[in-house]
Structure formats: structure tokens, C-alpha cells
Amino acid sequence: MNQLGAAVRAWRGRTEPATVGLPANSPRRVPGLRRGELAMLAGISVEYVVRIEQGRAPTPSAQVCAALARALRLTDEEQAHLLRLAGHAADPDRVPRIIPESLQRVMDQLTASPLAVHDATWALLAWNPLFAAVFGDPSAYRPDERHILIRQFEGGFGRARQTPAERAAFEESLVADLRATTSRYPNDPSIAALITRLRRSPRFRELWALRSVADHHSATKVIEHPEVGDIALESNVLTTQGSNLRLVVYTPRAGTDARGKLDLLTAIGLQQLSRT
């Protein structure tokens, strides 16, 4: 029996569009979210949702499970159940990827700031609409590409612009943070696979050989936005107790016009400004 697909179908059917910010004014033959709506909210393809529900998909990654849980507003217990059904059994040796309801409530209130949640390896698990508007929509990338370390060391810097000194400090801090994570979860095979992939980068190998250990707390960067121009931001990292999830909140840099640009992007979202 396809328990994973049955669970996703049931959760999709009980989720009211209005609870996830979608209009519900069009007639619906069945209650709940449409497959296309769930796909959009989770940042995956409609075809992949169909394969999951029909039991024809490869085991969904933990990141995909987290995205589905966020889109379906699952409780902590339901998220844990989803991960178990997908083969990611809860284990103290594995990096936690369940976003607690309490953290989701905090995210729902901080609409005026771009924010994202990462796991202890810096894989992106969740983000708010303003984050997508500022940095680009993460759903445009494959789940394995939604990872700060992979994008940093494989050349996918996106819209962020940093001076050479800022980039060096940022990379050093991330690698030292990853080293700390390896000691917290020494038996998690996903960490070993991540390090193997990152070792393709000479810069990563150089930093990894230093064996520095530290937590990553903050960074300064300028976002080159195609519609509103440069946005100068500070990032602040809040780590959740027990799960080592990282809530990254971006705030305007003092003395800049970043606040006004964030307010504009809050209004227009991912739309392009009209051009004359």
C-alpha cells in the first residue's frame, strides 16, 4: 500500500486554500488544494506531486518533505510521520528538518523582513514571500540546489554581491559552521555526501583543511535586484534549541534606502515593474 501517497492526498484534501493564502472563489469539485496549488506552494512540479500520490516517485528528499509539510501546514507530529513514511526516520544521529509549528507562527508574523529557515547543513527548508521577491524564487531550483554551501562553492551566487573580503569571511564562517555540525551528527550520511560533493571545489578543500570550528551568526551583503536596484542587507541567524534549525532574518542596513525597497517588494512580490 502506498501510505505516503495516501497521506499526502488526505492532507491536501483537508487543507483549505484560504489557510495558505490562496483565493477560494472558484468552484471546486473536491475540497482542499488542487495538485497544482500544492506543487506551487511546495516549489515542486505538478508531475512530481502526481507521482508521489500514485506511489511512482523515488523516495522524496528530506527537503521536499519539509516543503510539503510547510505547504500543507502539518503539525509537528504529522511532519515526523511524513518523514518516516518517506524513509527519513527520526533519529538523534540525523540532522533535524522538521519546522515546529511555533517557528512557523513566528515566520508568519515577520512579513516585513525577508527570512528563510535552513537545516544544520544550510539546506534551505522554507522561506517567506518577501525572501523570494528579494533573492529570487527558490522554487525555480531543484531541491538539491536550494543549499547555501552548494550555491556558494559551485558558483551560484545569485543576486548577492559581496566584496572579496566579505565573501572570504562568509565562506570561512559557513565551512567552520559545517565542521561543527559534523561533530553534532557524526553518523548522518547526508553530511558525508554533502562534503564529498563540496570537495570538488578547491576553495572548499582549502577551508575544510583548516579544521576551523565556529557557528555562523551574521553576514553583510548587497542584493542586486533586477527591478529596484541594490538592496543593502544584514543577515542575522537565530538557531532553534534542540533542532539546530537556522532562522535567517534579513534587515535593512542602517543609512541606506533598503527599507523602502523592501516595502515596495512586499507590495509587488515576484511581479515585474511595468516599463515605459
pTM above 0.85, yes or no: no
| Domain assignment of residue 276, yes or no | no
Q: What are the start-end ranges of the H helices in 76-163?
A: 76-85, 101-109, 129-135, 148-153
Could you tell me if 246 and 120 are in contact, meaning their C-beta atoms sit under 8 angstroms apart? yes
Q: Are residues 106 and 194 in the same domain?
A: yes
193 residue type, one letter: A
Count of the separate structural domains present in the chain: 2
Please state, rounded to an integer, the average pLDDT across all residues of the chain.
88
Q: Between these two residues, 138 and 270, which has the higher pLDDT value?
A: 138
Q: Are residues 134 and 261 in the same domain?
A: yes
Q: Among 52, 85, 118, where does a domain finish?
A: 85
Q: Are residues 159 and 258 in the same domain?
A: yes
What are the pLDDT digits (tens) for 169-206?
999 999 999 999 999 999 889 899 999 999 999 999 99
| Domain assignment of residue 133, yes or no | yes
| Domain assignment of residue 93, yes or no | no
Residue 57: give its domain's CATH number.
1.10.260.40
- E strand intervals along 46-203: 115-118, 124-127, 160-161
Q: Are residues 253 and 161 in the same domain?
A: yes
Q: Are residues 126 and 157 in the same domain?
A: yes
| Domain assignment of residue 96, yes or no | no
| Domain assignment of residue 242, yes or no | yes
Q: Are residues 72 and 124 in the same domain?
A: no
Residue 90 has pLDDT above 70, yes or no: no
CA-based torsion, 50, 53, 57, 61: positive or negative = positive
| Domain assignment of residue 273, yes or no | no
Q: Are residues 108 and 231 in the same domain?
A: yes
Q: For residues 85-90, give the mean pLDDT.
A: 75
Q: Are residues 106 and 175 in the same domain?
A: yes
Q: Are residues 129 and 189 in the same domain?
A: yes
Say how far apart CA 112 and CA 269 lie, in whole Å.
12
DSSP structure class, residue 20: G
Q: Are residues 133 and 219 in the same domain?
A: yes
For residue 243, give the nearest of 192, 185, 186, 179 by alpha carbon. Answer: 185
Could you tell me if 146 and 124 are in contact, meaning their C-beta atoms sit under 8 angstroms apart? yes
| Domain assignment of residue 189, yes or no | yes
Reported as a pLDDT band with limits 50, 70 and 90, residue 165 is very high
Reported as a pLDDT band with limits 50, 70 and 90, residue 225 is very high
Q: Are residues 257 and 138 in the same domain?
A: yes
| Domain assignment of residue 184, yes or no | yes
pLDDT at residue number 263: 95
The grid coordinates listed for 39 are 506543487
**Which residues, 6 or more positions from 66, have their beta carbon under 8 angstroms from its beta carbon?**
79, 97, 98, 99, 125, 126
Q: Among 85, 117, 150, where does a domain finish?
A: 85
What are the pLDDT digits (tens) for 93-107?
888 888 888 888 899
What are the pLDDT digits (tens) for 110-153?
999 999 999 999 999 989 999 999 999 988 888 788 899 999 99
Residue 1 has pLDDT above 70, yes or no: no
Say how far apart CA 44 and CA 56 lie, in whole Å.
15
Q: Among 60, 85, 110, where does a domain finish?
A: 85
Residue 116: give its domain's CATH number.
3.30.450.180
Residue 16 belongs to domain spanning? 3-85
Q: Are residues 235 and 108 in the same domain?
A: yes
Could you tell me if 264 and 228 are in contact, meaning their C-beta atoms sit under 8 angstroms apart? yes
